[in-house]
Amino acid sequence: DVTTVELVDATDPGEHN
């Protein structure tokens, strides 16, 4: 579970976006 603006988009769509 990453919160990197680039990675989170593909790994956890919803945590940051």
DSSP state of 16: -
Query: In sequence order, what are the residues at sequence separation of 6 or more whose Cβ sits closer than 8 angstroms to the Cβ of residue 12?
Result: 1, 2, 3
Q: What is the pLDDT of residue 17?
A: 52
Q: What is the pLDDT of residue 13?
A: 62
State the Cα angle at 11 between 5 and 13, rounded to 5°: 70
Q: What is the pLDDT of residue 1?
A: 58
The CA R_g of the chain, rounded to the nearest whole Å, is: 6
Residue 13 identity: P
1-17 tens-digit pLDDT = 566 666 666 666 666 55
Q: What is the pLDDT of residue 15?
A: 60
